[in-house]
Homo-oligomer: A and B are copies of this chain.
Amino acid sequence: MTAKKISIAVIKRLPRYHRYLNDLLENGIKRISSKELSIRMGITASQIRQDLNCFGGFGQQGYGYNVESLYNEIGNILGINKTFYAIIIGAGNMGQALANYVNFEKRGFKIVGIFDSNPEIIGRKIKNLKVTDIEELDDFVINNTVDIAMLCVPYKVTASIADKVGRLGIKGLWNFSPMDLKIPYDVIVENVHLSDSLMVLGYKLNEKFERD
């Protein structure tokens, strides 16, 4: 673990650095300057230097960054070398999309269960997992390591399911329901608001093309 506290704004950019560095590695590129990285990523070089300085700064004047060590270091900070065990609650379209999303496992997130309350879906196989009755959630969590619950349930039951997740002692909650969840437990919640990114796209379209 790094000693220095890194701001969450920087942390939020790290997965992007990590992706770009991975691309570079796969293309056999061994070192890169903050300027080149800047052009590829669309972030200013000074922002990049400032971000990477936060955790020690691996750049060398006139040499740039060693791609592999920077990639590994960012991976360490993000905890990619660790495994997080996750369950999906809600096996509708979004839950199934997450279950089929190949990139999670590569990043250390292993999906170990998928739950639903709909008798028509329970028992169905999604990828290598059988959809389990939500009634069995308590037993499952008691008998297995579960770090993260991915919530893909309808809006109206989100709060009660989140409460259940908190009571069961699951420490991380990744919420896809369009509400900013706050729950009275020691749980870290990341709310995903898909439409936020769509609204940014709408703004950029307006600004550029001035539709009426």
- Show the binding face of A for B, using Cβ within 8 Å: 1, 8, 11-12, 14-16, 18-20, 77-80, 82, 84, 92-94, 96-98, 100-101, 103-104, 107-109, 147-148, 171-172, 174, 178, 180, 188, 190, 192-212
Contact = CB atoms under 8 A, between A and B. Distances in A.
B15 A199 contact: yes
Nearest to A194: B101
Nearest to A206: B79
A171 B12 contact: no
Contacts of A172: 201-202, 204-205
For the complex formed by this chain, how many copies does it contain in all?
2
A14 B148 CA distance: 28
Contacts of A96: 93
Name the 3 nearest CB pairs between A and B, nearest first.
Answer: A93-B97, A15-B196, A79-B206
Given A172-B202, A188-B208, 6 more contacts: A14-B199, A82-B202, A107-B202, A148-B205, A174-B198, A192-B194
A203 B96 CA distance: 24
Nearest to A195: B103
